[in-house]
Amino acid sequence: MCGMCHAHAWAAGRLQAFHGAFKKIISICQQQQQQQYNIMVFKFDGAEAFKGASAPSLEREVSVTSNNNRVLLDSHELNAASGPFNLCCAEAYARFSELKRLKVHPGNMAKERDDVESCSADVYNGIKASCVAQFDAVKSCLSDNPDEWAKCASVRRELEVCSVKNNLGEIKKLGS
């Protein structure tokens, strides 16, 4: 076998191993999401979100985030981080989405909105601390391929794996 063939065989083996590990991560995440959804369905019917007087008045100062853990992202950053947000903040996103599905007034969803914003900020800050090379690669790829995001699947996957490996967002709760 030539040296190039050895390199191709090695790369194919590494790709197959990575694919198996990624499938396992996705399977675990899907199981966790299903378990969290089952808990949410049985313990949360949305009725408590309707309690209270009404939506907050514009005359009162309304805190958007109770813990001041917020980041402002441009569209490139938001698109690049969307995969890790969905993986690492699944519980907060599911609860918020369920309330939206039930058509709960946004003024009665402050806690859920805060949870989504806080988790997303934690994940983003974790990415900037631990996965900056992968994050920059995804932003660059998406910018270079605005109409062909499928070309960026491998770099997006690398960022998602880095986010999971570093226990960002809600995943850190699972490890403790």
3-state secondary structure 78-126: HHHHHHHHHHHCHHHHHHHHHHHHCCCCHHHCHHHHHHHHHHHHHHHHH
For the cut 70, the answer to whether the pLDDT of residue 119 exceeds it is yes
Please give the model's pTM, rounded to 2 decimal places.
0.60
> What is the pLDDT averaged over residues 142-171?
93
For the cut 70, the answer to whether the pLDDT of residue 149 exceeds it is yes
- Residue 28 lies inside a defined structural domain of this protein: no
Domain with 118 in it: 45-53+62-175
Using CA atoms, how far apart are residues 53 and 108, in angstroms rounded to an integer? 10
> What is the pLDDT averaged over residues 119-141?
95
Task: Calculate the dihedral angle through the C-alpha atoms of 107, 110, 116, 119, rounding to the nearest 10 degrees.
Answer: 160
- Residue 123 lies inside a defined structural domain of this protein: yes
- Residue 70 lies inside a defined structural domain of this protein: yes
Give how far the C-alpha of residue 64 lies from the chain's centroid of Cα atoms, to the nearest Å: 20
Determine contact, residues 77/139, Cβ cutoff 8 Å.
yes
DSSP, res 57 = P
DSSP, res 65 = -
Give pLDDT, residue 66.
Answer: 37
Give pLDDT, residue 173.
Answer: 79
For the cut 60, the answer to whether the pLDDT of residue 70 exceeds it is yes
Please give the tally of structural domains in the chain: 1
- Residue 26 lies inside a defined structural domain of this protein: no
Give pLDDT, residue 167.
Answer: 93
Pick 161 or 16 by higher pLDDT. Answer: 161
Confidence of residue 39 (pLDDT cuts 50, 70, 90): very low
- Residue 34 lies inside a defined structural domain of this protein: no
